[in-house]
Structures are given as C-alpha cells and as structure tokens.
Amino acid sequence: MTGLMRSWIESANAPDTDFPLNNLPYGVIDVNGSAHCATAIGDQVLDLHALESGGWLDFGGALQTGAMNTFMALGPDAWEKLRVTLFGLLAEGAQARSGLEKHLSPLKDAKMRMPFAVTEYTDFYASKQHATNVGTMFRGAENALPPNWLHIPIGYNGRASSVVVSGTPVVRPSGQLKGPDDDAPRFGPSRRFDIELEMGAIVGRPSNGPIGVGEAFENIFGYVLLNDWSARDIQAWEYQPLGPFQAKATATTISPWIVTAAALEPFRTSTPPREVPLLPYLHEPGPMLYDIDLEVGLTPDGGSETILSRTNYREMYYSAAQQLAHHTSSGCPMRVGDLLGSGTISGEAKDSRGSLLELSWGGKEPVEVDGGTRSFVEDGDTLTLRGHAAGDGYRIGFGECRAQVLPART
C-alpha cells in the first residue's frame, strides 16, 4: 500500500484529512452563481474550471461545463492525465505554487453543487445482512432471503430526478398509507421515514450491450456516499407486485465529491466467499470491492450527534462491477453519469446496520439519541453519512453526505 503523497498545501498532509494529495476527488462548486468543476485538497478547494481557462490544464473545455459528465466522457486516458497533472501541480516542491494559489479557496466556505448530472439511477440490494434483516421482519427468519438473492445482484430502477447533493433539505413525503387492519388507504405524511446507508458507483464509460465484470469495473469512474431516503409505510402498501416506487422517489442524497476508482485502488478487497456458485457472467477477475469504513450519525434539531451505525463497504455480497455487468446482461445500454446505489450496507453487529428499520427492528427497539429515542427519522433531524478508506498515515475520505428532514407539506 502506498503512503501519503505530500503536498505543498500543508493541510493535505494531516493524517486525518479526507483529502490528501492521494485523493483528488472531483466536485462542482458555486463561484458567484456559476458552477465550476473543482477538486478538494486538504482544507482547500482548487477551481479546475479556472485552471483550464487559465491554460494550466487542457481538456478541450470539459472542465468548464459545470458538471463532471463531459470530462468523464473523455475516457480513462483523460482521467489518468488529469490526475497525473494535478499531482505535478500540487506535490511538495512543485514549481506551480505561486500561480495556483489564487485558484484555491477554503473548503469550509465552498457551496457545493451536484458533482455530475445523474443520467439514470439504479438501486441494488446487495448486502446479505440487510436483505436478511429486512426479510426476517417481513417474511420470517426461514424465508428471509429471497430464492434468487444468492444468484442475482437484485436491483430496481430508481428516479434520477430525485438525486440531490449533500446539504439539500429533504421534505418528509406524503403518500398512500394503509395499515394491516385498515379497511382502505388514506393519504398523509409518512410516519416511517428512513435512511439507507449506501455507496454510489458512477458510470464513466458508456456501453451498448452485455459487458463482463472486468470491463464493468473499468467503466466505473468513481464513488460517492449515498443516502437512499425511504418511506417504509408507503413502500409496504405500494410495492407488490412491481417494486418500490413513490417510497423511494422523494430524495436520494449523495456526497458532493466523487472519489475516483484510481484513488481507491490501494483499498481493493474481495467479495466474501460465495455460498452458492455464481453463473460465469458474474465472476470477478480480481478484487473489485473496497475496504471503506462508513458511519451514519443523527443530530436532532438543536441537539448533538449520535453515531447510529458503523459498518464497511466490504460487507457487500456483490461488487458494483458485478452489479453493472448484470445491469447490462439483457442488452441494457449504460451511459456516462449513470448512478448505481449499492443497496443498504449492514454488518452482522446490531450497531452496524445501515437503516433505522433494522436498527430499531421495525420500531420495536427504538434507538437512543440525544434527548430521546428514534424508531424512524423525525422532523428537524439531520442525518450525516461519512466514509473513508484508511491508508498508512493518510486516508481517502468522502466528506459528508448530510441532509436535514423538513416537515411534510401541508
């Protein structure tokens, strides 16, 4: 495993920064009302739009677009070229320091926009412990895991228009609700509004037919943290027979920085042993999961934060590469900017579960937070996801994926 790459920006050399020179994640910042592609380095943001317009970089204008899609579409050679160029500009001892300083600004003041335009959004269901927990609650322990689960990276199409960047408030949804003893449904605010701690993989290279797992891995540009907000009561009534729809369409919050597959390369790890053999089209030619520590915290309005759960991305049974390969198996075309949610990530320990549904076991065991307890999310609560891969003396972090829940519309 490589060590810290030192930068002339001193804050990037701190062992606890999310953004050492090794990381160089991509995001979009607001500069006087216009959207600029940028990278984070230590406690600073570097304006890549300004760097390209100033002649420091040349990607045919792809960094002067207000979203990372155009740059991603340039392909892996461009991805590598930008990363190497930025290493050269930002490494300790680089000559460029004086010219670059005017394009730096404090990260804490940055107003982040969506880092890319989400072309389509797919959400998977690939943590075995999560599927087992949810299945046990809904169908009993003996039928917990659906019969197809160990064979297929189960997924469904989500709603790209609902994906928002960290910091965007989320309004509690209303919808059709029907309890098991109710004669008919009623329409009202969800009472079981929940989080789902996930990772999102971003497709950076298009495909137009079935692709293998190895090619799928190469086509993923990078990753974000992802909170798939879920109205459990709307879902329970609507989801048979065609799956979740309005329960999942209110909002999906992503972290503002795309951490590249290149930055995560030293943290590759294997999916767990297969319990039944996978069909050949899902075989991984190498380790394609990542060792990324994850946590989710809940902060009541005016209160202090409680960490609800700590888990790790390596808990997934299927990697994003396997999910993407399966996604193309019927010939489904994939495009630059497609976002693939991993599915809720839950470990075996109770405090490593990735949703309140699981943490409170359907509301039967409320969890303690500052000033009270929670079965599900309450109005005013702020939910924050964090994640990082831990290297030797440095870490590759994702920043925060955060949103406050506002009361339902009246």
Binding site for Mg(2+): what residues are annotated? 228, 248, 252
Residue 210 interacting with a copy of itself (CB under 8 A): yes
Provide the minimum distance between the beta carbon of 369 and a copy of itself in the complex, in angstroms, as a whole number. Answer: 25
Please report whether residue 406 would count as binding a copy of itself according to CB under 8 A. no
What's the angle, vertex CA 324, arms to CA 195 and CA 274, rounded to 5? 85
- Is residue 97 a contact residue for a copy of itself (CB under 8 A)? no
Q: Is 234 in the site for a copy of itself (CB under 8 A)?
A: yes
Kindly tell me which of 186 and 364 has the beta carbon lying closer to a copy of itself.
186
Among 95, 98, 148, 410, binds a copy of itself (CB under 8 A): 148
Residue 231 binds a copy of itself (CB under 8 A): yes
Closest separation in Å from C-beta 246 to a copy of itself:
4
Rounded distance between C-alpha atoms, residue 54 and residue 89, angstroms: 14
146 binds a copy of itself (CB under 8 A): yes
Residue 95 or 330 with smaller CB distance to a copy of itself: 330
Using CB under 8 A as the binding rule, whether residue 91 contacts a copy of itself is answered as no
Q: Which residues pair with 123 in a beta bridge?
A: 156, 341
Restricted to residues 333-352, the positions that interact with a copy of itself (CB under 8 A) are 333-335, 338
- Which alpha helices (H) appear in 32-90, and where do they start and end? 48-53, 69-73, 76-90
Rounded-to-10 torsion of CA 167, 163, 226, 342: 180
Instruction: Work out which of 31, 85, 212, 239 binds a copy of itself, going by CB under 8 A.
Output: 239
Identify the residue among 185, 303, 366, 380 touching a copy of itself (CB under 8 A). Answer: 185
Q: Using CB under 8 A, pick the residue from 73, 137, 144, 160 that binds a copy of itself.
A: 160
> Which residues make up each annotated binding site for Ca(2+)?
123, 196, 198, 228
Q: How far apart are CA 40 and CA 109, in angstroms?
A: 12
Applying CB under 8 A, the site for a copy of itself has a residue count of 60
- Identify the residue among 158, 300, 341, 397 touching a copy of itself (CB under 8 A): 158
Using CB under 8 A as the binding rule, whether residue 152 contacts a copy of itself is answered as yes
3-state SS string for 273-339: CCCCCCCHHHCCCCCCEECCEEEEEEECCCCCCEEEEEEEHHHECCCHHHHHHHHCCCCCCECCCCE
CA gap 325, 328 in Å, rounded: 5
- Residue 321 beta carbon to a copy of itself: minimum distance, rounded to whole angstroms: 16
236 — alpha (psi -120 to 50), left (phi > 0) or beta? alpha
User: In the chain, what's the furthest Cα-to-Cα distance?
Assistant: 74
| 130 annotated active-site | yes
From 36, 130, 326, 388, active-site residue = 130
Each residue 102-141 as x (binds a copy of itself by CB under 8 A) or -, in order, gives -----------------xx----x----------------
Helix (H, G, I), strand (E, B) or coil at 62: coil
Question: Which stretches within 91-127 are classed as H helix?
Answer: 97-100
Place of tokens 């190498």: 286
Task: Name the strands in the sheet holding 34-41, side by side, starting at the edge strand that comes first in the sequence.
Answer: 104-106, 44-47, 34-41, 26-31, 112-113
Q: Of 47-66, which residues contact a copy of itself (CB under 8 A)?
A: none
Compute the least distance from the CB of residue 40 to a copy of itself, in Å.
Answer: 28
CA distance 116 to 74: 14
Residue corresponding to tokens 């600004």: 105
- Cis before 241 (ω within 30): yes
Q: How many Cα atoms within 13 Å fall on the side-chain side of residue 300? A: 11
Give yes or no for a contact between 289 and 270, defined as CB atoms under 8 angstroms apart.
Answer: yes
The region of 20-28, 96-104, 152-160, 267-275 touching a copy of itself under the rule CB under 8 A is 152-160
The contact set with a copy of itself (CB under 8 A) reads: 119-120, 125, 146, 148, 151-152, 154-162, 171, 173-176, 178, 184-187, 209-210, 231, 234, 237-247, 249-251, 276-277, 279-281, 326-327, 329-335, 338, 409
Residues serving a catalytic function are: 130
